[in-house]
Amino acid sequence: MSLADLTIAEAGTRLRDGRMRSVELTEAHLARIGERDADYKAFLTVSADRALEDAGRADRELAEGLDRGPLHGIPVALKDLIDTAGIATTCGSRQFLEHVPVEDAEVVRRLTDAGAVLVGKTMTYEFALVGPSFDLPFPASRNPWARDHFTGGSSSGSAAAVAGGLVRTSIGTDTGGSIRSPASYCGVVGLKPTYERVPRAGVFPLSPSLDHVGPISASVGEAALTLDAISNASAASRLSEGLDGKRIGYARGWFAADPETDPAVLSTMDEAASTLSLLGARIEEIDLPDYAAFEAAGAVVLQAEALAVHTRMLAERPSHYGRLAYQNLLSGLALDEVDVVRARAAGAELSRQLQQAFVACDAVVTPTTLSPALPFSAFDGVTPVWTHMRTLPFNVSRNPVLSVPMGFAAGLPLGMQIIGRLGDEAGICAIGAAFERGTHHSIQRPPAGTRR
């Protein structure tokens, strides 16, 4: 087994008992990136010199008795929407081709304080808007389970990097599902924390009232450890809990009758709910606020805020955008202030109704997406393609959500969302970890040289 396949906990044990150095671990990850990333297109920039420098410092500190925590000496990757001092941050756009920040984003400073090793920047849809695009100087990331399929977006490279075994954990952003959908499509774990649990300073905004920063990782435990390093959460504190006595609401009505729901998603989600019950949880079907209204309210706010962020660049350098991003931003022009005020009010009321579910439930489960990953042949780079998910309402409501692998359809992964009370990352991670232990989904990884 390559050192790159060690879990964060396994690597940490070896780093601390002297059987391995961070430099060795980092070199193994850099070698893995060199071997596989030509197929996966997960990384925009591999910061090998920075990584080896970080690793050398981690080794010296551990040898001197300074232990910064579970991520000390562990390689990580960052979505290329997150500022890194001295390393290009392009946001996936020609607008920022020459942009090299002079300061790290706050989340990067926290990773550095935790002793993490930065191995590079991962691909993103342009400004986290829409994709995949084929008219940009950056290739679209490819799903390690089937390279002729997309990864979902916009944290596309972060999910591909983890699924492909290039790193064990990475950082993405999520405004309408962009941590959770690629995690689902790529068969890994995505954790969208409670709003503002992770600071957004130095992360290029898409929609400031909906933007979240969080990890995409190979397992629930690794996602929890990563979140704890970049936030004031204690997501890893309850990972060993079982499900006895846990009350979980199953929002089956949110998707079961939707014509876009792949039959495999319905049957796999039913099986996942049954598994949670067998593991000790009390499962009850519940009703949530109307999904379509929730999504519509969130979409109006997102489009209006995105247009406001980009107004100056749209006026000064419109030709520097790719076609899909440009079209998407211009759709915000159809909205007026009354539309946005009404959408915010509707979102607030729907969020209030959603919180009522947690009076009787410790968590709620739904599928993350309504189908497995689409093939690239479904995208022409001209017409936007909406992939059906069940994610945006929880950006509006700001609840923490964990997406975990729950099975496969035609050899492609499917994901289940576990939604928790505001601030209860530890609770949903406990449920996710119990589900992970009770199934075999999380240990399955695409073989190197995967099909197609």
Amino acid at 11: A
Surface-to-core class of residue 447, CB atoms within 10 Å of its CB (0-12 exposed, 13-18 middle, 19+ buried): exposed
Whether the CB-CB separation of 246 and 277 falls below 8 Å is answered with no
Task: Extract the tokens encoding 27.
Answer: 């070199």
Q: Is 178 a catalytic residue?
A: yes
Q: What share of the chain is helix, strand, coil (3-state, %, to 5)?
A: 45, 15, 40
Helix axes 425-438, 220-230, angle to 10 degrees: 160
List the catalytic residue out of 22, 47, 170, 178: 178
179: which residues sit within 8 A by CB, 6+ positions away? 155, 158, 172, 173, 190, 191, 192, 212, 214, 215, 216, 403
**CA–CA distance, 157 with 126 (Å, rounded to integer):** 12
Hunting for tokens 């601030």 — which residue is that? 423
33: which residues sit within 8 A by CB, 6+ positions away? 42, 43, 46, 119, 120, 166
Whether the CB-CB separation of 395 and 298 falls below 8 Å is answered with yes
List the catalytic residue out of 22, 41, 47, 79: 79
Q: Is 403 a catalytic residue?
A: no
List the catalytic residue out of 154, 219, 371, 403: 154
With CA atoms as reference, report the closest residue to 170 among 205, 132, 122, 204. 122
H helical segments located in 41-120: 48-63, 106-113
Q: Which residues pair with 404 in a beta bridge?
A: 416
Q: Is 158 a catalytic residue?
A: no
**CA–CA distance, 124 with 170 (Å, rounded to integer):** 13
Whether the CB-CB separation of 264 and 302 falls below 8 Å is answered with no
Catalytic residues: 79, 154, 178
